[in-house]
Amino acid sequence: MDVALVILRLTVGLLIAGHGAQKLFGLFGGHGLRGTSAFLGSVGYRPAPFWAFLGGLSEFAGGLLFAIGFLSPLGSIAIGSAMLTAITKFHWGKLWNTGGGFEYPLVHLAVAIAVGISGPGAFSLDALLGTHLPSSLTTIVVVAAIIGYLWGMIHSARKPAEVQSRPATA
């Protein structure tokens, strides 16, 4: 079981960290923070640079924490938040990845939840260092992630034209 967990953690964690590196640093053919901010702004996220950084960071740092099995389940929570946002904001309405659907982020979400529940296994930094996050801290992080997700969904729900046509306040 521990070998299976390390295979899952390394594969999914490093792929998601790479996806975050596309958003943050423009690596692997990504658009970096500037391009990610522009895209998020075009779909209504305000302030777009904040959400671009937060999304990229949750994927990059969450993926790395997940891959190495450190400070579990923080990596799972970060990945879960990013994938839930991807599913509900960008891919909803279509299932299959070939049509822009949520198939691929759903698999990442399921793996993050499963590993978050099971723990990172014996081949992890948590096991090596004997680290264990208190359940109260984990609960606080989960609640904060849910609030952040809801905040982002509510504030990006308006169409960009509605946001731009609002009168400026002094």
pLDDT confidence of residue 158? 58
Among 38-42, 61-65, 131-135, 152-156, the least confident range: 152-156
Question: pLDDT tens across 74-109, in order?
Answer: 999 999 999 999 999 889 999 999 999 999 999 999
Average pLDDT value for residue range 151-158 = 76
32-42 and 2-25 are packed helices; what angle lies between their axes, rounded to 10 degrees?
A: 80
Contact, 16 vs 8, CB < 8 A? no
Contact, 16 vs 65, CB < 8 A? no
Between CA 106 and CA 96 the distance in angstroms is 10
**Residue among 8, 24, 161, 156 at smallest CA distance from 72:** 8
- DSSP E strands in the chain: the ranges are none
**Residue among 68, 53, 80 at smallest CA distance from 144:** 80
Between CA 72 and CA 36 the distance in angstroms is 28
48-68 and 74-85 are packed helices; what angle lies between their axes, rounded to 10 degrees?
A: 140
Residue 159's pLDDT band (boundaries 50, 70, 90)? Answer: low
Token pair listed for 18: 């790479």
Kindly tell me if the per-residue pLDDT of 165 is higher than 50.
no
Between CA 136 and CA 64 the distance in angstroms is 23
pLDDT confidence of residue 164? 47
Between CA 75 and CA 145 the distance in angstroms is 12
Backbone φ and ψ of 22, nearest 5°: -60, -45
User: Could you tell me the pTM of the whole model?
Assistant: 0.87
